[in-house]
A and B are shown apart, each in its own frame.
Chain A
Amino acid sequence: MGQITLQGVQKSFGPVHIIKGADLEIADGSFVVFVGPSGCGKTTLLRLIAGLEDVTGGAILIDGRNVVDVPPAKRGLSMVFQSYALYPHMSVRGNIAFGLKMAGVAKDEINRKVEAAAATLNLTPYLERKPRELSGGQRQRVAIGRAIVREPKAFLFDEPLSNLDAALRVQMRLEVTRLQKQLGTTAIYVTHDQVEAMTMADKIVVLNGGKIEQYGSPLELYEKPNNLFVAGFIGSPKMNFVTGELAKQRGATTIGVRPEHLKVERDGQGGWHGTVSVAEHLGSDTFLYVDAGPLGMLTARYVGELDLHPGDKVSLIPDPARIHRFDDSGKSIHA
């Protein structure tokens, strides 16, 4: 079991409030991603759950038991660090076995479990090596091995893939997701990469300035963002925001349209007119950065190749069903 509940969790360092009251319900077996810009408090929140920081206020419940006064090791969680944090003087076997050794597990059982974990992670040939003799991806796998071998109630991942190169990151992303589904263990994963968040999560927590902006499934966040921040943060390229007369006509202060919901027409009638200032041709997609005069710069995404170049006049027609409306305070207006 690994059900985690946060009730009004707060954290301040001196006069600085890092977490301003977080309430969250994480279901057993789910994969939850904390995402947000740097300094939003996502790592702090994870460390509070881990017990590496003490809460200033509120309660953290693991399977219904308040653990705010319980030391990290007794919370039954395991953590994968951004820097891997492997013990440099121990072999891969020693690293993976350390937690079990500390728990006083019998030797043969340790060996059996370590070997099983190593097999799952394709680490068997490296068991006797030292961390410095491994590549980045292998080190990452050892860090994960160390986490899974203890059969914790939940895994905590602190930006574990950010030190890997792009190709390896995608591969490890798949492996982590697959492993989590296979083990069925609750996972909390911190990242600033919204693609990681969208692809890995069952549910995403968007954090900003120490507050939870929205908690929901990836598609919920994409389709029904609560506010301007979430709308701008989720989705790539970023959502276009338009203020002024056009927004007022729709009864909003700001309206937002995602680049993929703008239909591009060459010298067409209607819609928003502008001039292409940059065109990025990826083959599979075309990204257009359009100078739309009083509306500002707009981004449009076209699936496939579109033969447009800087200086070309285009009109952009928003999909009326996909226009997001926001009020004065930046909150979404749902019709």
Chain B
Amino acid sequence: MARMVTTRNKVISTAAAWLVGFLIFFPILWMVLASFKTELEAFAIPPSFLFFHWTTENYVTVQERSDYLHHALNSIVIAGGSTLIAMLIAIPAAWSMAFSPTKRTKDILLWMLSTKMMPPVGVLVPIYLIYRNFGLLDTRSGLIFILCLGNLPIVIWMLFTYFKEIPKDILEAARMDGATIGRELIYVLTPMAVPGLASTLLLNLILAWNEAFWTLNLSTLEAAPLTVFIASYSSPEGLFWAKLSAASTLAIAPILVLGWFSQRQLVRGLTFGAVK
């Protein structure tokens, strides 16, 4: 018997979904609201929700005190660069593991994932020393390198599960049809893999954009991305909630917009293979 969906149940589940959605979204909303308050109102108790003196002075101060565009550009270069390099390495790796697996493929995949199990702080000192000795501290290339390595396991895993979903028969059909490996890649595999490539790219971009541990520890000014820009507002002389919020809002705005426009792609990417 099919389950009856009553109007009442529909109302309840819709309300519940909105509630959960609101709870998850609330911190971001609160941050945006706080960025338009004065410092005094920002930590007033009880807090005012909408009826406060709206001001954009925090944004002005933030832009004056630190160069937003400089940090934003660093973020774009570092997140974009590390993502592109990670993709270039991961595509052939995932490809070979998906289409000509060996006995050890599963072990290699697990080993790759295991590198993510260690807390990054465990290797902070050696990495810091290596970076210092090679002159990589506070350089964009240094950050691109470390973020690329950090995200590589996830990128390979995602692409691997994607490629696994492509039926081998279709590749064999292309081989029977006379396609060389290059043409098979261009005409058959890539068009079929585009959704997977796109969502992997997006997710990795977001991860790299938000990465705070290595970017905070390995950069100070020259190569500092937006994470450093935000952190600079939590200073020893006290927390400036409103300015911190304004800085954070500016920092997440680009990635939020990107995520908003690509949410279908992202959801499809993360749930791929779960439902046939």
Contacts and interface: CB of A to CB of B under 8 A. Distances in A.
Given A81-B169, A85-B170, A88-B192, A98 B176 contact: no
Interface residues of B, number: 16
Interface stretch (B25-33, B65-73, B183-191, B267-275): B183-191
A79 to B, nearest CB: 5
A71 B181 CA distance: 12
Interface in A297-331: none
Given A73-B179, A102-B183, A79 B173 contact: yes
Contact of A99 (B169, B170, B177): B177
Given A83-B167, A89-B191, A73 B173 contact: no
Interface in A34-79: 50, 52, 71-74, 77-79
A82 B187 CA distance: 22
Contacts of A150: 177
Interface string B91-133: 0000000000000000000000000000000000000000000
Interface string A166-204: 000000000000000000000000000000000000000
Contacts of A98: 174, 177, 179, 187
Interface string A234-269: 000000000000000000000000000000000000
Contacts of A77: 176
B178 interface: yes
Interface string B121-162: 000000000000000000000000000000000000000000
A72 B192 contact: no
B192 A79 contact: no
Interface in A94-119: 98-99, 102-103
B188 A72 contact: no
B187 A72 contact: no
Interface in A252-294: none
Contacts of B169: 81-83, 85
A72 to B, nearest CB: 5
A99 B187 CA distance: 12
Given A85-B169, A87-B170, A79 B176 contact: yes
B175 A85 contact: no
Contacts, number: 57
Contacts of B191: 89
A150 to B, nearest CB: 8
A72 B170 contact: no
A78 B176 contact: yes
B167 A85 contact: yes
Contacts of B222: none
A298 B167 CA distance: 45
Interface in B61-92: none
A157 B184 CA distance: 22
A54 to B, nearest CB: 13
Contacts of B174: 87, 98
Nearest to B169: A85
B177 A146 contact: yes
Contacts of A82: 169
B210 to A, nearest CB: 33
A178 to B, nearest CB: 23
Interface string B236-268: 000000000000000000000000000000000
A146 B188 CA distance: 15
B173 A85 contact: yes
Nearest to A84: B169
Contact of A52 (B172, B177, B183, B187): B172
A123 to B, nearest CB: 17
Contact of B178 (A50, A87, A102): A102
Nearest to A50: B176
10 contacts: A52-B175, A78-B176, A81-B173, A83-B167, A85-B172, A86-B173, A87-B170, A87-B173, A102-B177, A102-B183
Given A71-B175, A72-B176, A150-B177, 15 more contacts: A50-B176, A52-B172, A72-B175, A73-B175, A78-B177, A79-B173, A81-B172, A83-B167, A85-B167, A85-B172, A88-B170, A98-B179, A102-B177, A102-B179, A146-B173
Interface of A: 50, 52, 71-74, 77-79, 81-83, 85-89, 98-99, 102-103, 146, 150
**Leading 8 A-B pairs by shortest Cβ distance:** A73-B178, A85-B169, A99-B177, A102-B178, A85-B173, A89-B191, A81-B169, A85-B170
